[in-house]
Structure 1
Amino acid sequence: MRFAIVVAAHLVAAATAVSTAGYTSDVLHVSPDGRGSSCSAQAPCALTTARDRARNQSGDVVVELGGGTYRLTSPFTLGPQDSGRAGHAIVYRAAAGQRPVLSGGTKVTGFTQVDAAKNIYRATVPKGADSRDLFVDGTRAQRARSAVNPGGFSTTATGFTTSDGSYADWTNQSQVEVVNDNAWKQMRCPLASITRNAAGGSDLTVDPGCWNNNHNSVPNPGFPFNGAGLPTLNGISWLENAYQLLGTPGQFYLDGAAGYVYYVPRPGENLAKADVELPTAQELLDVSGTPGHLAPLNDTDWRATYTGSWGYQNGRPTGDLAGDVHYTSTNGDSFSYTFTGTGIQVLSETNSDEGTADVYVDGVKTQTVNASTSERLAQQALASVTGLARGQHTIKLVKTGGDYMLVDGVTVIPDVVTPVHDITFSGITFADTTWNAPTAEGYVDNQAGVLWDPTTRSPIRIPAAVQVHRGQRITFSDDTVRNVGTSGIELADQTQDSTVYRSSVTDTSGIGVAVGEVDDYYQTQAPLQTSGNTVSDNTIQRVGQEFADAVGVLVGHSRNTTLSHNDIGYTPYSGVSIGWGWGWASSCDLQAKQGLSQPCAHGTTYTGGNHVVGNHVHSVMGELNDGGPIYTLGGQASQSEFTGNVLGECVNGCNAIYHDEGSSLWYTHDNVVKSIGGSLWLNLWTPTIHDDTIVNNFTDTGNYNNNGTNITLQPSTVVPDQNWPAAAQAIIDAAGPDTPRSNLVDDDDLRIAYRGSWSFQGGRSYGDLNGNVHYSQQDGASASITFTGTGISFLTETNSDEGHVGVTLDGVAQPAVNANTAQRGVQQKVFSVKGLHPGSHTLTVSKLDGTYFLVDGFQLLG
């Protein structure tokens, strides 16, 4: 499996290399200040000019981006007309040795100190500037916020109250947000006002619409859109975005109306020289075919016509769209819908009391459909019509048999299905975006970066800086997405056979990479399904830096998606979330065993044949709960595989292999789970999880939970003190990306081999590398790293409870070093060596004495 996947990924790169080699006239050159239309190396043009020129080229075309920053106020857009032609590709790539950056940021200069006591600096920005993000020398600044879990607040009918009257003096009160981390959700709402109450305290009135969505009436349509709907916004984790909260280094406040941004510099930052970027664009790259997003319309839509003796039933608990249907028991009754587009799908219920219907398109009978099935299935695509000429059409269904005919909704296909295809992006950096919708509307969370639209209450997603909609064979290779106030890359709206390969996605406010949709479960037409996509050999880290429910990789409904050999880490919630629908695809019998109400919400999904292989997922669950390194949800229609992954270092308690509600047909084998403390290596908590096979896994804990149905489970091989057998070590050695790794090696890096009794602690605020360490209280416990280079430094914490550290280099004992100091020191290089002969070396550090021994990481010299 490892060989096949790596070869497939490398074929993508090889194809790109072949298609971009040997160009003369078909290379178009662009630069940030390009002008004119020659697009030559001597006279480069603008990016949009090269795009337009490429439309008229034949064969393979390369658009070569020179180095520098391309400042965008709107996204660079590509449509079907910009696709490769006749088997040829269009390639947008960095010029050799150059680093082009597509940026949505505005450079901010001219900072002056305005509050010496709090060390607050101010700079002017355009009046009306709107942004939730700021980056200083590539490091994210934090919006001004209170301490975590501020005391003294209680919930009222309209928000919160406290005996502290000082809040009522805050300025720009409608810009202040209340944030609540609760279980697996993060909810945010702007305030409407802060007033001083009769008792001298402060009443915080939350924006009424957001308060309703997040507290009074949390959206809860049930399967297949969400589970329990809870929890609600019922407390304050922190208050955010008030000038009065400034004072902590690294925090900022934007007063867009006045045209000022305020910032408290971190130690060592020089604002006269720093690159300060205020993102103002939401999106940088938009690659879109037609049509766009397809979502079903309810049976109550005004364009629907019901002829005959139809009834209407609302509040049904059977999983119907919006909980309602139109129905008739009379043969000859008809449903008609007039639409403008190229196709339509009619959703119905199938059941043993349903029967046949004739389908007419523009007055001509095209087919007879049958809704009779042995079990009730909701939201089924009973009739699908595609390939019509774009224009106005009418579909009509006439009941011809069975006890009932039901209409639950329609999905209109408004345009010709024309994917944008055969485009590659290579070596390009995308940076500095923001997403401002939550500022006015709040953040109405569902799970994993999937939200509820505050107005329509339908599923939406955090938008991405780089977006592909209905693409085919779109490739991102060796690209970088960083410092974005949005998600990173999304392959949306039934994108197919596309790849994110050997790229880096770091420091996102939302999801790292998103694949597929959560509302196309009913789809039966292969061209309208997400399929064949690959996310491979990428580094995806520090996602969800603003919206903590976001995950490293989100895969909704999909077929034959491969997630392979990625490094995913430092996430506030789960590392990977794949699948959707909860128990929707599980039978009514299994739902009853879970204790769900009957009749049940039960339907089908096209999801299946997915592969989660060889990933290293680590240091997850930094802020929220009820997740894990890799989390699956909902049923698979065909077997999917989960193998060769190394999962570990949960910050908060988690479930290392978490097949959650409805997960089915997973073949989970040959994975390694390590450094998760007392957490579960496996969690199958409810009977709707069914027909999974879980064998040949290696763990350092035996804790698991199995309440699933028809589960083939082989208890893991429990390995004490991480003395992994050869089979487990081979999985560890093969996991993660093939690409060269950083010379700064964190303590959770797979190159480090721990022996003895070790624990992991993340989310530390002392300044450790990435905020985490491994530690041991066992004398003799050791950590080894084999590296290629000429030198190495060992990073640890020094403190009064540390002791002496034994050091062995290439099997030769070195003088012990002392980590005992009166004051705490972090990222301390207590041992360093350089001038080694080039080649492979092994360094081992071990605990000799003291209470604790910490490993924070290693720094390698080439």
Structure 2
Amino acid sequence: MFYVSPAGDDSGQGSFEHPFRTLERARSAAREVPGEVVVRLRGGTHLLTRPFELTEADSGTVYEAYGHGSAEREEAVVSGGRPITGWRERDGVWRAEVGDLEVRQLYVDGRRAARAAIPGLPGAAEATGTGYVTDSAEPLGWRSAEFVHRGVYPWTEARLAMAAATADGDRTVITMAQPGFGWATELYNSTWEGSTSRGPGLPTAIENEPGFLREPGTFVLDRSRPGEHVLLYLPLPGEDPARTTVVAPVLETLVRVAGARDVAFRGLVFADATWLRPGRPEGFVHYHGSGYYEGGGVETAVLGEGASVTYPTDSVTIPACVRFEETVGARIEGCRFTRLGASGLGVSGGEGLTVRGCDFDTLSAGGIVVSGSRGTLLEDNRVRRTGLEFSGSPGIAVTGTHGCVVANNEVGEVPHCGIVAGAGEGTRILRNLTVDTMQVLADGGGVYMSGPQGEGAEVRGNVIEDTRTPYNFGLYLDYGASGVTVEENVVLRADNTSVLHVGPPLENVVFRGNFWDADPLGHDDPPSGVTYEGNVTIKDERELNAATEGIRARAGLLRPRG
């Protein structure tokens, strides 16, 4: 047993009375002890200056908050942030010189501050092959602007950096950074109802210029002088630089576990990490879910007569700030993932990982992303307020898995899909509750399953409420989903409860005993690959709730949390 405290000393023994100061020192000590070792973190913020990494040499080690599982549990925060001090106030704006620090997110007394923004290009603007032209002179003063393109496709949101703005007579010519803008022009091409579009189009918002700093509680990173960046913050009423704690995330990876067996994290808080790539010339050319494009070619999907979109032949996944790679028997229990600039937890490969009783909130991307693993269990987790910067990110996403179980989770307040399962083997999505999904982008659902699932896949006992945007399907099987039983689910207050006719078509799919407040599209003429039987439509919400009381009681968290 070893102890770590922010007030400790690495020259100590790591005992309760003389704890270590750093996780690295505790890791070294644990490696010298055979068998399972428990490292207990005392309350406070454990600041990391580099990612904390565990390997096969750390197999059997448990890292847990002191008092985990009892009323005496202390809040131990593993943080990759840097406190910002040295503020000077001028004209009501706080200013801090931060050197070459890149800041995409900022937390003020724990609250996520928004980047200052305006709603699109000023003046009469149009797109060009290399950027934009406008009759407004305002962009001539921009140096750090990032263009946001929401809804290029209904399910996409791109972010692209501006390179320069120059005057051309009474026009302003905006040149966008490459290769990101070129990739966006290559990827985003569609035809719909006789209309063809090419490229990302006009931005829906522009962020991060000092002139945008008009709303209290927002910030800007002024990068006009390379290596001499200035952080600007317009405070909320009552905030005082002498009393207010401001933290900028610095590390992109907090924890990486690779190749270890039977490691565990219990009761810890993982906080204050970032992801800087979207602000670089490559930008963030989003396509779907947690995937984005960085070249390699595109293909065309025909959606129907006279309708098509281009899509990437290959895509890259948004990284996670806490990563488990090729582990066996790992456990993450009772932890919180918060104030993170990418996805919260990423799992790739490996076998037998369990994520239970964790909270995921205030994340730029998704909560949990799992790919290529076997026997993963995601149970009793709460995911909310995710996708705050990358709006296509699902709350929970699994793809390429074998025997993955997603059970009794609660997902809400997310900008796109709640739970996503891509092609895999035997994925089971059981007794989850999704509420307030699809808040920003369209064409998704509270639960979305795409691609072949082998045999034994289930979507059972889930309650899907309030799927918000127009053009969604609360319970959505898509793109050739096959080998799935969809049974005893409840869907209400969606644009469409479900859809049976998709392309490629569904195969070997059974819809049985589900309850809806409106008939799914195609229910009266199911395709040949779909069995549709014993499903019930009850339009009166009180009657629907009464009829599904048992299903609703079993869905969602196993242990309610405040």
TM-score (norm 1): 0.59
- Aligned residue runs from structure 1 range 91-106, under 5 A: 91-96=62-67, 97-106=73-82
Contact kept, 8 Å, 1:184 with 1:447, in 2: the verdict is: yes
Q: 1:465 to 1:219 in 2, by over 3 A?
A: farther
Report the 3-state secondary structure (helix = DSSP H, G, I; strand = E; otherwise coil) of the residue aligned with 2:45.
strand
- Residue 491 of structure 1 deviates from its aligned partner by 0.9
> Is this contact kept in 2: 1:685–1:705, CA < 8 A?
no
Residue of structure 1 in register with 2:400 after alignment: 557
**Is it true that 1:648 corresponds to 2:465 in the alignment?**
yes
* Partner Cα separation in structure 2 for residue 497 and residue 668 of structure 1: 25
Farther off after superposition, 177-186 or 440-449? 177-186
* 1:506-521 equivalence runs, <5 A: 506-517=361-372
User: Which position in structure 1 is the counterpart of 2:149?
Assistant: 179
Taking the aligned partners of 2:477 and 2:393, their CA distance within structure 1 comes to: 18
Alpha carbons 1:108, 1:123 under 8 Å: kept: yes
Partner of 1:618: 435
Unaligned runs of 5+ in 2: 68-72, 191-196, 298-311
- Tell me if 1:716 matches 2:556: no
Number of equivalenced pairs: 525
Task: Tell whether the 8 Å contact from 1:31 to 1:47 is kept in structure 2 after alignment.
Answer: no
Q: Secondary structure at the match of 1:422?
A: coil
1:655/1:683 contact within 8 Å kept: no
Task: Give 2:539's aligned amino acid.
Answer: P
Query: For residues 516 and 219 of structure 1, what CA distance do their matches in structure 2 show?
Result: 28
* Secondary structure class of the residue paired with 1:740: coil
Counterparts of residues 488-567 of structure 1 (less than 5 Å)? 488-492=344-348, 494-517=349-372, 530-567=373-410
Greater C-alpha Rg: 1
Question: CA separation in 1, counterparts of 2:135 and 2:121?
Answer: 16
Query: How far 1:465 sits from its partner (Å)?
Result: 1.1
* In structure 2, distance between residues paired with 1:231 and 1:683: 30
Instruction: Find the counterpart in structure 1 of residue 267 from structure 2.
Output: 427
Match of 2:303 in 1: none
Write the deviation string for residues 93-147 of structure 1: whole angstroms up to 9, x where unpaired: 000121111111111134333224xxx221232x000121111122211112112
How far did residue 425 of structure 1 move? 0.3
Using the alignment, how far apart are the partners of 1:641 and 1:260 within structure 2? 52
Once residues 192 and 683 of structure 1 are traced to their aligned partners in structure 2, the CA distance between those partners, rounded to angstroms, is: 46
Deviations 1:692-729 (A, max 9, x none): 00011111122423664420013631223312365511
The CA distance in 2 between the partners of 1:536 and 1:551, in whole Å, is 16
The residue identity in structure 1 corresponding to 2:209 is A
What is residue 158 of structure 1 aligned with on the other side?
Answer: 130
- Residue number in structure 1 paired with 2:559: 739
Q: Deviations over 1:40-73 (max 9, x none)?
A: 0111112112111212212321100111111112
Secondary structure, counterpart of 1:92 in structure 2: strand
Q: What is the CA–CA distance in structure 1 between the aligned matches of 2:198 and 2:384, rounded to whole Å?
A: 27
The two structures, once aligned, show a CA RMSD in angstroms of 2.2
2:287 to 446, 451, 462: 446
With 558-567 and 266-275 compared, the bigger mean Cα shift is at 266-275
Q: Which residue of 212, 223, 238 maps to 2:205?
A: 238
Residue 740 of structure 1 and its aligned partner are, at CA, apart by 2.4
1:663 is aligned, of 451, 476, 481, to 481
* Map 1:401-800 → 2, pairs under 5 A: 420-440=260-280, 441-453=282-294, 458-492=314-348, 494-517=349-372, 530-580=373-423, 607-653=424-470, 654-676=472-494, 678-705=495-522, 708-714=527-533, 716-722=535-541, 723-724=543-544, 727-742=547-562
Query: Larger deviation: 158-167 or 145-154?
Result: 145-154
Residue 136 (str. 1) matches residue 111 (str. 2): no
Pair 148,255 (structure 1): closer, same or farther in 2 beyond 3 Å = closer
Q: Which structure exhibits the higher relative contact order, with contacts defined as CA atoms closer than 8 Å and separated by 6 or more residues?
A: 2
One of 254, 257, 264 as aligned partner of 1:287: 257
**Do the aligned residues in 2 keep the contact of 1:213 with 1:219 (CA within 8 Å)?**
no
For residues 454 and 679 of structure 1, the distance between their equivalents in structure 2, rounded to whole angstroms, comes to: 35
Looking at structure 2, the residues matched to 283 and 453 of structure 1 have their Cα atoms a distance apart, in angstroms, of 21
Which has the higher mean CA deviation after the structures are superposed, 182-191 or 712-721? 712-721
2:316 is aligned with what amino acid?
I
Q: Distance in 2 between matches of 1:208 and 1:540?
A: 35
Change (3 A) 1:445 1:555: same
- 1:148, distance to aligned residue in structure 2 (A): 5.7
- Corresponding residue for 1:169? 141
Identity rate of aligned residues, in percent?
A: 29
Query: Do residues 109 (structure 1) and 85 (structure 2) align?
Result: yes
Q: Describe the SS at the equivalent of 1:510.
A: coil
Check the 8 A contact 2:292/2:317 in 1, yes or no: yes
Structure 1 residues 163 and 435, CA gap change in structure 2 (3 angstroms): same
DSSP-derived class of the 1:733 partner? helix
- Measure, in 2, the Cα distance between the counterparts of 1:152 and 1:499: 53
Cα shift readout 1:401-421 (whole Å, capped 9, x = no counterpart): xxxxxxxxxxxxxxxxxxx11
Query: For residues 321-353 of structure 1, what are the alpha-carbon distances to aligned partners after superposition, in whole Å with 9 as ceiling and x for unaligned?
Result: xxxxxxxxxxxxxxxxxxxxxxxxxxxxxxxxx
What amino acid is the match of 2:556? G
2:22 is aligned with 1:205: no
Q: Cα 1:575–1:168, aligned 2, differ >3 Å: closer, same or farther? A: same
Counterpart in the other structure of 1:42? 17
Q: Distance in 2 between matches of 1:618 and 1:72?
A: 35
Change in CA separation of 1:37 and 1:77 when aligned onto 2, cut-off 3 Å: farther
Question: What are the Cα deviations for residues 542-580 of structure 1, in whole angstroms up to 9, with x where unaligned?
Answer: 111001111101111011101011110111111111114
Q: Following TM superposition, by how much is the alpha carbon of 1:151 offset from its aligned partner in structure 2, in angstroms?
A: 6.6
Name the SS of the counterpart of 2:278 in structure 1.
helix
Tell me how far apart the structure 2 counterparts of residues 539 and 682 of structure 1 sit (CA, whole Å): 27
Aligned-residue offset at 1:670? 0.3
Say if 2:189 and 2:198, in contact at 8 Å, map to a contact too: no
Q: Tell me, yes or no, if the aligned pair for 1:37 and 1:49 is still in contact at 8 Å.
A: no
What is the one-letter code of the residue matched to 2:386?
A: V
AA at the equivalent of 1:42: E
Q: Amino acid of the residue matched to residue 253 of structure 2?
A: E
C-alpha displacement at 1:150, in angstroms? 6.2
Matched letter for residue 165 of structure 1: A
Matched residue, 2:302: none
Q: Is the 8 A contact 1:188 1:443 kept in 2?
A: yes
* Equivalent AA in structure 2 for residue 40 of structure 1: S
- State whether residues 107 and 275 of structure 1, in contact with CA within 8 Å, keep that contact through their aligned partners in structure 2: yes
Q: Which amino acid aligns with 1:449?
A: S
Tell me, yes or no, if the aligned pair for 2:122 and 2:136 is still in contact at 8 Å. no
Decide whether the 8 Å contact of 1:635 with 1:665 is kept in 2: yes
Q: Deviations over 1:581-610 (max 9, x none)?
A: xxxxxxxxxxxxxxxxxxxxxxxxxx2111
The 1:149/1:729 distance shift into structure 2, 3 A limit, reads farther
Q: Say yes or no: does 1:265 pair with 2:248.
A: no
Distance 1:624 1:263, change over 3 A: same
| Residue type of the alignment partner of 2:401 | S
Give the match's secondary structure for 1:272. coil
Q: List, as ranges, runs of 4+ consecutive aligned residues in structure 1 with deviation greater than 4 Å.
A: 148-151, 217-220, 454-458
- Give the gaps of 5 or more residues in structure 1: 1-26, 85-89, 221-229, 290-419, 518-529, 581-606, 743-862
Deviation of 1:242 after TM superposition, in Å, equals: 1.2
Partner of 1:338: none
Residue identity opposite 1:558 in structure 2: T
Q: Residues 124 and 503 from structure 1, CA distance in 2 versus in 1: closer, same or farther, beyond 3 angstroms?
A: same
- C-alpha separation between the residues in 1 aligned to 2:492 and 2:420? 20
Q: 1:543 to 1:240 in 2, by over 3 A?
A: same
Contact 2:59–2:261 (8 Å) recurs in 1: yes
**What SS does the corresponding residue of 2:27 show, helix, strand or coil?**
helix
Asked if structure 2 preserves the Cα contact closer than 8 Å seen for 1:567 and 1:617, the reply is: yes
